[in-house]
Structure 1
């Protein structure tokens, strides 16, 4: 069977090129975001091709020559691209072995490969002119069984780390093209503001002021001149109040017009004696990447070349072409790594900013870097959510019916998916409202409903998604999407039910789970943390990401004095066959630390017209001194398919911290983040 991503890009030559110097270029449609995915994919390719890891060169994605694998998102790269590359490697290896068999006059069954050398006689590099890879995959060659894999399952040096350690140019911000100019975009002062008039300053080095509708930008010969020119533009804007009360988001979310979809159910309960319920919520969250968004663009006549750190360069190209009325073959997009990416941040918008400004100086490249205020104030946000959970209990306190209603904007407004281009700059220049965010199909994991159906064996589960049809703030994909809030709600409520039943939280979960892998990670986390000897301030939580990805169980240990401080996190993860143990731990640790920051600190703040949390003081993130000790236990299952794990920790970590806070203080805080203000409000 041909994996779906290979079926969509069936030519082997699109994925692999073998060179006479003994190196092998591997191309895929996934991009490096700091998650180490290209290293893991290189391991898969090396294993299936039977070559040394150091021979693999992972070629950065470009729309001219890389396979189109849509997005790098959803923790699906290893599952999807990894499966495609495994099949590609197996088929390429078979073609070279067939060619060698013909030359040597023997059966392929008698041939073996060691680092590209076939039976110690003929190499892949000898056969470069004899093997045509410009053919379609057949699916007739089986990849290696796990017992024969040598590179996969071990930790190899990350391909992207040396440049970062030694400070070599690698990031999009480091790209410098001959004759490059510098652009800055002037944002409206608030949502819904319209530009009435504008007067440009007189500055040496100011090349151009670009205005299209409410889109306004400057181009200069030096970066500091562009920044100064943007500050000195005299603009008159008409503003309006259009944002809800930031301190009453659950009430806002639960009172608006919604599209309602039943995810699971209905809930039937004939034997209930008691109904208990609770409402949990999370605020809007920012990506808060280390470096702000950046892009470079250059027009050459009617041809456009673009360098950016988008997670979906093919989708971005589609919207650029639609917005500007150019053909697909006129636009080439190159991916260059950005410093921090957790979903649909400002990368696509910065790219379109650069495209618009570069069009005004055809022939010269223009770099656009967003300001910190732009990044925190104008990138798409992770959607605020409210979740109401109810359980009907029988006379023995057992759950006989479970109900889960979630209220949220959709979690996707990425480019290339709507009837109109979904790019901030295009909305400003045309006056079009941004499309109302949608959710991916539930079969693929969903968006706001992600992880809304608990894995527990409750007799009846009724889950309904209420997607808001208005969007006061632009929302889109942020790491884990709806799973963060849904798992926080489910696992907090399960903890409440365990306490009501007088049961140990771990034992209570095990009692209601039949999935052996789920039970194993729960036991592994509890044992590693020393749960049996726990004290006050310990909390537990569990989930399987998207209900089809990696399993994760978490023990959190917190202190709660003037604020919540997470001292230690112990996580157990089952991601199926582990490609790189070190890489998997990196991903889980990073997700756990980011979730800790979200859970105890982060919240987008705004008044009735504008976002006000536009710097690190008003949008604080976890400091290095506040990072907890993190231990990750891997439950390796080499005979099982590899599962995505980059977003598995977010939800369970949040719930474990909240449950630990309850253990420490006896207070159940259901409103995130767990700030002193929200703790006091819970009293």
Structure 2
């Protein structure tokens, strides 16, 4: 990976692009050249996806004189397979071979600003934009050819990067593009290719990002090697909220292998030509004294701690229909989730280089544009002088330490102009400093009528904010350490329909009377932010566990009980297909083996997903063996079937890990989960023995976000299966072996 000479860099900078207009171009937020590269102009809200925010076609697609096509997306590859899906969409809609297409992702210098890669929005926003931009470009190429040949455009067709009249006359895209500007707005009236004419969409295409990961190639930002690169480690207290007491910077400079110490305020970084001496130096400095200023962390019963924080009550839903009758029976339950780590296998890493007055940062941040603004403010540089380029990290799953380590790298690189600096956190720093997924409490109360139908529903959720991603310098750890008065932004409550802690708190079931209330907790005893699926994991766990409890109270089959309350036909389809493929049955008498079921539509806007699990609880240990998991998912129009299966399979495994194993440990002074021994994640021996994913394809329908669709249903299906196997309901995550053995 070369910072200056790669083909990607040349194309992104415009070296081979011939489609820019010769007249003035619209400028973006940064102005100047960078605004031109992003192709930002007036918003066109009628256009689909992110095309409405970036309607100029060369923001998305450029065609070089040799016929090579460069496609740009503001979304980042996080392991969800977005690179592969975008390539399929673009190549199919443009009618070109895969060998003629280069994809550039999430680069503040060249790609459209699509904000964060989060919330399972990549296909809905960027995939939709690229597909429609590609259709527009294909049409413009045909129109230009029709003018050159003086024939009706309807008489022409495209194939393999050429426009043809069907009678042997062809013209290559590159030759057409030499006299055509794509710096024009997209048109809403240009149709995409007919479904029957698709070559790649809906087909399995091997993942672009996988080979290097499997073979040990250059896959992650951790793998970057640049000429003259220095290694770096940051020196801090053991966890967020702590700080070192009078560290001896001069002594640090004398440690073997430390070539330079960068010190400003409380920010300290060690730089050296070799990495291992810095690792040893950091181990020595791990013995430094530290303190936690401010209030101690509240400890004790999780529900009491969470509910004891100052809430701001926010009504989410108040649906009332008095014609439904009166409840003859009430059921109530409380469910809790602990603080969770992202659990990235590779600690956070970034590479930074200050050269010719430009700070370039290679980062695995999920939001390169917001990060650029925060780092520019921290450095006191104009935003157009800061460039953030996304390179994959080894693990993601939300707002981990990626943004903070990028700021660390930038401060270190500023001290050594012309030398790239690779900053890597230690495992202990990752566990101690990354933002956590918030702890949550959900209390549910349901009223049943005489025939066992739900006629009243009350859902209350207590949660911190789920978003502290950097929007300004004060949101970065390094900026807070500089002593310049940078402070974090105030905690934000994300609104519905997507929500934060209340995501998926509104059930999709047909309930005549339903109230949902969010208790937004502004106090944050531990640093928190977004973790995959935000509040959906907890809320679906609670709702779908409670649906089982209500079914049990009415002596109903759990699947039949759900269908009785479900009017949405697409939801009914995935529920019925899952039950059918699973051969649904509740429990084998006389055994500790049971079946569990759960359903949700992610955010009530994204993919529909139902999951059934067959689990066995081992009698002596309480260990849970997942024999089988079956899922059915409706993601709308399917671009890459295997990519969707990857996401659902991975979501099931991650959710089992969260639900059955993970919880951050802490005391009054700091977190105490500093490594994998005290923060257990799912091991290979606990992976389901069989996972089957059934896909409901709906060609021509909008893309529905899939990346986080499985977390909630998998959690509830797991819990419901354990309850079916043991006859006891566990409502406090994690559902550990000890908890199961104790309650059995």
Interval containing the TM-score (normalised by the shorter chain): over 0.9
SS at match of 1:489: helix
Is residue 442 of structure 1 aligned with residue 496 of structure 2? yes
Which of 537, 550, 554 is residue 594 of structure 2 equivalent to? 537
Give the alignment of 1:69-468 within 5 angstroms: 69-119=114-164, 120=168, 121-199=170-248, 200-201=251-252, 202-233=254-285, 235-240=288-293, 242=295, 244-245=297-298, 247-265=300-318, 271-300=326-355, 302-416=357-471, 421-430=474-483, 434-443=488-497, 445-468=498-521
1:314 match: secondary structure:
helix
Residue 636 in structure 1 maps to residue 685 in structure 2: no
CA distance in 2, matches of 1:520, 1:463: 26
Q: Give the CA deviation at 1:268.
A: 6.4
Summarize deviations over 1:127-171 as a string: whole Å, max 9, x none. 121221122223231223433322111111211122223322121
* CA distance in 2 between partners of 1:122 and 1:190 (Å): 62
Range with bigger deviation, 359-368 or 37-46: 359-368
C-alpha distance in 2 between matches for 1:126 and 1:191: 57
Distance 2:340 2:357 in 1: 39
Residue 607 of structure 1 aligns with which residue? 667
Report the alpha carbon displacement of residue 18 of structure 1 after superposing the two structures with TM.
Answer: 1.4
Instruction: Name the CA distance, whole Å, in 1 between partners of 2:646 and 2:406.
Output: 29
- The 8 Å contact of residues 268 and 401 in structure 1, kept in 2 or not, is answered as no
267-276 vs 356-365, which moves further: 267-276
Q: Distance in 2 between matches of 1:657 and 1:632?
A: 16
Q: Report if the CA contact (8 A) 1:606-1:612 is conserved.
A: yes
Cα displacement (A) at 1:363: 2.4
Name structure 2 gaps, 5 residues minimum.
Answer: 1-45
1:595 maps to which residue?
655
Per the alignment, do residues 475 and 533 of structure 1 end up closer, same or farther by CA in structure 2, a change over 3 Å counting? closer
Q: Distance in 2 between matches of 1:204 and 1:645?
A: 49
Deviations 1:615-652 (A, max 9, x none): 11111111122210210011111132111111000000
Structure-1 residue corresponding to 2:610: 553
The 3-state SS of whatever aligns with 2:474 is: coil
* Structure 2 residue 471 is the aligned partner of structure 1 residue 471: no
Q: Distance in 1 between matches of 2:157 and 2:213?
A: 38
Give the 3-state SS of the residue equivalent to 2:423 in structure 1: strand
* Residue of structure 1 aligned with 2:713, choices 640, 649, 652: 652
Tell me the matched-pair count: 680
Shift of 1:9: 1.8
Secondary structure of the corresponding residue to residue 298 of structure 1: strand
Q: 1:534 to 1:669 in 2, by over 3 A?
A: closer
Is structure 2 residue 679 aligned with structure 1 residue 625?
Answer: no
How far off is 1:682 after superposition? 4.8
Q: Is the 8 A contact 2:319 2:512 kept in 1?
A: no
Q: Report the Cα offset of residue 117 of structure 1.
A: 1.8
**Correspondent of 2:108 among 43, 47, 63:** 63
Q: After superposition, what is the alpha-carbon deviation per residue over 1:385-415, rounded to whole angstroms, capped at 9, x for unaligned? A: 1000011222333221100000011111111
Q: CA deviation at 1:125?
A: 2.1
- Structure 2 residue aligned with 1:574: 634
Distance in 2, Cα, partners of 1:128 & 1:289: 44
Q: Is the 8 A contact 1:410 1:436 kept in 2?
A: no
* CA–CA distance in structure 2, aligned partners of residues 310 and 577 of structure 1: 28
Tell me, in whole angstroms, the C-alpha distance in 1 between the residues paired with 2:546 and 2:298: 26
1:512 partnered with 2:565: yes
Corresponding residue SS for 1:599: helix
Gaps of 5+ in 1: none
Query: Hey, what's the Cα distance between the residues in 1 that align with 2:587 and 2:135?
Result: 49
Instruction: Indicate the SS of the match to 1:206.
Output: coil
Counterpart Cα distance in 2 of 1:554 and 1:246: 35
2:34 maps to what in 1? Answer: none
Q: How far apart, in 1, do the equivalents of 2:85 and 2:210 lie?
A: 13
Of 420-429 and 578-587, deviating more is 420-429
Deviation at 1:678, TM superposition (A): 3.0
Distance 1:348 1:403 in 2: 38
- Asked if structure 1 preserves the Cα contact closer than 8 Å seen for 2:240 and 2:432, the reply is no
Bigger shift: residues 564-573 or 115-124: 115-124
User: What is the Cα deviation at residue 532 of structure 1?
Assistant: 4.4
Match of 1:483 among 536, 549, 554: 536
CA–CA distance in 2 between the matches of 1:531 and 1:68?
46
List per-residue Cα deviations over 1:500-555 (Å, max 9, x = no partner).
11110000000000001101100110111111486341100000000010000010
Instruction: Name the CA distance, whole Å, in 1 between partners of 2:547 and 2:570.
Output: 19
Larger mean Cα displacement after TM superposition, 389-398 or 86-95: 389-398
- 1:214 positional shift: 2.7
SS state at 1:586 partner: helix
Q: Mean Cα displacement is larger for which, 353-362 or 245-254?
A: 245-254
Q: String of CA shifts for 1:405-459, please: whole Å, max 9, x gaps.
A: 000111111112x6x531122223337664454243313x111111000011111
Change (3 A) 1:18 1:360: same
SS of 1:496 mapped into structure 2: helix
Determine helix, strand or coil for the equivalent of 1:646: coil
Partner of 1:52: 97
Q: CA deviation at 1:174?
A: 1.1
Cα distance change, pair 681–265 in 1 and its aligned pair in 2 (3 A)? farther
